[in-house]
Amino acid sequence: MKTMHTTLFAAAIVLTAFAMQAKTTTARQNPLLKASTLPFHAPPFNKIRTADYKPAIEAGMKQQLAEMKVIADQKAAPTFANTIEAMEKSGALLTRASKIFFNLTQSNTNDTFQKIEAEESPKLAAHNDAIFMNPKLYARVKTLYDKRASSGLDAESQYLIERYLKFFVRAGAQLNDADQKTLRALNQEESTLTTKFREHVLADTAAAAIVVDTKEELAGLPDSDIAAAADAAKERKLTGKYVLTLQNTTQQPALTYLQNRALRERLFNASIQRGNHGGPNDTKAIVTRLAQLRAQKAKLLGYPTYAAFSLDDQMASTPENAIKLLTGLVPASTAKAHAEVAKMQAIIDAEKGGFQLGPQDWELYSEKVRKAEYDLDEAQVRPYFELNNVLQNGVFYAANQLYGLTFKERHDIPVYQPDVRVFEVFDADGKSLALYYGDYFSRPNKSGGAWMDSFVDQSGLMGTKPAVFNVTNFTKPAPGQPALLTFDNVTAIFHEFGHALHGMLSNVKYPTLAGTNVPRDFVEFPSQFNEHWSLDPKVFANYAKHYQTGEPMPQSLVDRIKKSRTFNQGYATTEYLAAALLDMAWHTQTPGTGQRDVNVFEPEALKGFNIAMTEVPPRYHTTYFSHIWGGGYAAGYYAYLWSELIDDDAFYWFKENGGMTRANGQRFRDMILSRGGTMDEAAMYRAFRGRDPIVEPLLIERGLKEEPGK
């Protein structure tokens, strides 16, 4: 549950079109107006100016609508080539500009970007509606859909026709004119509010950073983190002070170390009050209106709730199926969390702390339990996880062992921010396969969380190879200091790189079906599956080395990490389930429900699902839950657990069949990673595994059930 990437479904014309721009200026040619001449069509960031985006977006929309008009108005009977393939080829300018622009609005934004996004998002929503509510286009697609079985087309092409019909129907193509007009208005308002929500959360997260006056107050914080806090203060012209910046989740990394309880409480409260304290960045009215809009949209399209609409084209199919999986884990996870509370309270009492454990204390005291039970100290571990070593000798090494990939850093490809790194990816036969960008450090103008997306998608039809990127938010070290990671950070890199592999190893014809363009509750499967290799003995030994001496991590420490892998899983599972069920509560409201008071609705919902624990708040409270209000995961946060069910089951296939071998990796690549969204995902998994996934591996991996024979 660590990502926030934007990879819903891929029609280059559907959700990819959520921002773009181009056009010439009087003095120079706008570089976005034509395909890049760099390798992999990589964006020429050294030539693109901020002023290029808005005209490029608008020119791209105009161009695509003209292309769609030609397709819709042609007199020739609809064929796959003159309709579906023609639509696949449309919108190249819009797609190119939007993919670049929307990465920057998330990872490297500024006031101008935000202004452009606010102006263009409703226009893009209207643009999308103009295409998918076009009756002539719909009629052509419907004709091809009705004849697909006798068309003689290959399976991938037939499946693409089915996807297009769904796009049109779910976009309102079958509605009457009055209902389409209503839907267009709802879509534009939703687009505007989603953009506004992201802006508010970004601004409030930056504004909520905690300013600390003295170093003494930071007792317990590692020296490298203190140096980073001092550096953050200098950037804000607060020389001599320290700034603790916030990440997007409820719990904050510094809470693991801070001994000063008053400061822990300040930091925790700053986190949970984001968007919920009045003022210009308050999000309460935005989120309640968004929930209302989505329920109205679902009703127009014939669904009882937005969750029912959202899950209709997902693996889970219905909100009831997703809620059943989530609530089925509540008793075991909360029971384990209560047991964890008891252990921490015992330490507090033994220290004569004189207080009851609160959520602001969990990270610090769970670390004390870890030290006591596993003799494992995070400060002991971090020197063995230096970022570059983890990347090169861990993440890349695992990809080599499984898939035969090799990586070469390139310094001649322009980047959008100096910290970004670029690697060319080569296949086992030495052929150039993809481009990979890594943007690892947090900064004030970067959204929280971690995600993957692409600048260019792989497509046989378009003749393009993938250029993908990962974005994370690790604390940037002070100048001259190493970037040392926690093991959770290490797992996050492996996770996001799993998404990157899904994009880089795509081998399909049509861009709409390429790479990560799969249902939400399948898209996390390759990423969460890739996490497992972070603890593979061969991989771990290759990267877990002391950054100063190069010495491998002592075996006793390795054993303690592995032994503790299910540590704190009561908390981790409960905080996730609380957030996922909260998402479902908001999006299973029926149409006509009035706007709800966030601070009444949220606790009632958690209580209703029997998951309200004072000590374990949701991983995201409503007012800063960016996945569901600004990140494409509305009624979809359950997807991480659904995908985990699949990824753990797949990993156990590897365990049963010899583990990390090139043969096993090639099978997984050929049957899963390369296939993108070219077939029903449940059928795709069954072909790989030989059966549907079972829940036991998930329960074992989370420590909620004993592994047989142990």
Residue 528 phi, psi dihedral angles, 5° rounding: -70, -30
> Tokens at residue 218, please?
């930071």
- β-pairing verdict for 406-410 and 242-244: unpaired
Measured over the CA atoms of residue 311, residue 317, residue 320 and residue 323, the dihedral's sign is negative
> Tokens at residue 302, please?
């014939």
4 in Cβ contact with 12 (< 8 Å)? no
Q: What share of the chain is helix, strand, coil (3-state, %, to 5)?
A: 55, 5, 35
DSSP readout, 557-581? Answer: HHHHHHHTTTTTHHHHHHHHHHHHH
Q: How many C-beta neighbours within 10 Å does residue 28 have?
A: 10
189 CB contacts (<8 Å, ≥6 apart)?
Answer: 122, 289, 293
What is the C-alpha to C-alpha distance for residues 265 and 13, in angstroms, rounded to an integer?
46
Query: Using CB atoms within 10 A of its CB, is residue 426 exposed (0-12), middle (13-18) or buried (19+)?
Result: middle
Q: How far apart are the first and last CA of the chain?
A: 27
Query: What is the residue whose two structure tokens read 């990673």?
Result: 673
Long-range pairs, 665-668, Cβ under 8 A, ≥24: 665/401, 665/402, 665/403, 665/404, 666/403, 666/404, 668/402, 668/529
> Tokens at residue 500, please?
């990157």
Residue 575 designated active-site: no
Residue 471 is given by DSSP the state E
What is the C-alpha to C-alpha distance for residues 84 and 151, in angstroms, rounded to an integer?
13
What is the C-alpha to C-alpha distance for residues 668 and 656, in angstroms, rounded to an integer?
14
Residue 188 phi, psi dihedral angles, 5° rounding: -70, -40
Residue 273 phi, psi dihedral angles, 5° rounding: -90, 0
Query: What is the residue whose two structure tokens read 């990879």?
Result: 7
> Tokens at residue 375, please?
């003799």
258 in Cβ contact with 218 (< 8 Å)? yes
340, 363, 367, 496: which one is catalytic? 496
Give catalytic residue positions: 496
